[in-house]
Amino acid sequence: MAWKMPLLKKASLGFKERASSAVRSQFDAFCQAKAHWLEDYTLFMALLDSQPGDMWTEWPTELRDRHSDALAQARLELAEQIGDQKFLQFEFFRQWKALKDYANTNDIQVFGDIPIYVSQNSADVWANPTLFQLDENKEPICVAGVPPDYFAETGQRWGNPLYDWDALEKTDFAWWIARFRECLDLVDLMRLDHFRAFDTYWSVPAEEETAENGTWIEGPKDKFFIAVRDALGSLPIIAEDLGDIGPSVLELRHRFGFPGMKILHFAFGSDANNPFLPFHIAPNSVVYTGTHDNDTTIGWHDSASDYERDRFHQYLGCSGADGVAWDMIRLAMSSVANQAIVPLQDVCSLGTNARMNLPGTSEGNWRWRYRAEALGTEYRDRLRNMALIYGRYEPKPPKPEESESDGQSDRSE
């Protein structure tokens, strides 16, 4: 941030001084089209930089509680900073669209993520406090998390404010529908994070330091997805249905036809009834070797119990001659799941040092990067060959050769 923000400020200044009329028109059109969130977001970011304290709940009451005269005065005083923030959003969306268009032109879909919760210190909560479970000081009454599970002995206390689903329902879930609509501008497919919370969610009193002493609370269930479907039609949603999942969560997913997630790292810790084994996976699923929350496949194999490793090798009928990571990739590709997703760390056969994220921790995550030279033709060819073998890729027929004289196919031979 210390390195980038001064450069972005300089870029904003250059835009104000030198942008052509055509680009300026694009900027104005963007600001108008996105005004329903851009106005609140840019003012929030400008205030966050100008007001004392790290949280908006520490601002003067008239700004914290969004008094109209205080907001109008802030817009005048912070016009330059607001303009900088609008430029950053305009430039990001412009560059992202160029990238997505390039990917789509090359038959590549962008698979994004829509988190279930938002940060307390966000424009979303500041601008829409009645949609969240907050007290009179705009602080969370209860916060989000999950109970103790495979990943964390004391659960995970995420700390996000919880939604007031009754208040959202009174608006026909307008905030969420707008959120879906914006996400669809950015991606082709959406992983709906923590899907189970739409059925029941874990509510932790804000004063608790861990997530152990929480309560399961009923979520919006069918009425939420009916409202979204009525407003936006059928959505390209993949439900993140991992963790402590009961029958009612799976039934909710089935009723709306959303594919679920199947993680092969979870398949070998029990017997043949394990639901993550490939022969139990249904076509309307997305299979992963592992996700961002898992270790790499080699890391998983190295730290697995003797029982798990033995089950894995027995299932394959070999001792990992193809390399553990690529054996797992083959299992994913050969399954009947409609889609198979493979982390790049597994493609490169990397160990635990390349792990992306460790759930329940807040530091040291999301730091792994790859270098372009690491992606040789060997990986491309192996992935392409597997996709061909297991029916996940059908090459386009070659285009007819065109004659040099008239550009038409020569049909005389």
What is the DSSP pairing of strand 111-114 with strand 189-192? parallel
C-alpha to C-alpha distance for 254 and 249, rounded to whole angstroms: 9
Q: Model confidence over 124-154: pLDDT tens digits?
A: 999 999 999 999 999 999 999 999 887 788 9
pLDDT of residue 321: 57
* Cα–Cα nearest to 309, from 321, 320, 301: 301
Helix axis angle, 21-33 relative to 79-105, nearest 10°? 90
Q: What is the DSSP string of 15-47?
A: HHHH--HHHHHHHHHHHHHTHHHHHHHHHHHHH
Note the Cα 19 to chain centre separation in Å.
33
How far is 75 from 68, CA to CA, in rounded Å?
11
Count of beta carbons in the 10 Å neighbourhood of residue 59: 20
CA 293 to chain centre: 12
Q: Whole-model pTM above 0.85?
A: yes
How many angstroms separate the most distant Cα atoms in the chain?
83
Q: Name the token pair of 100.
A: 């997505």
DSSP of 210-234, one letter per residue?
A: SSSS-EEEE--THHHHHHHHHHH-S
Give residue limits of the domains in the chain: 1-108, 110-236, 259-364+373-391
Indicate the burial class of 191 (C-beta count within 10 angstroms; 0-12, 13-18, 19 or more).
buried
Rounded CA separation 265/137 (Å): 44
- Whether 359 and 293 have beta carbons less than 8 Å apart is answered as yes
pLDDT at 319: 62
Rounded to 5 degrees, φ, ψ at 108 are: -115, 125
* Number of neighbours of residue 305 by Cβ within 10 angstroms: 10
CA separation, residue 104 to residues 97, 99, 386 (Å): 10, 9, 22
Active site residues: 193, 240, 293
Query: In the structure encoding, which two tokens stand for residue 71, read together?
Result: 């907001």
Give, in degrees to the nearest 5, the angle at Cα 31 between 161 and 24. Answer: 150
Contacts of 412 (CB under 8 A, 6+ apart): none
Residue ranges of the chain whose pLDDT lies below 50: 402-413
Within its chain, how far is the Cα of 48 from the centroid? 25
Beta carbons of 258 and 191 less than 8 angstroms apart? no
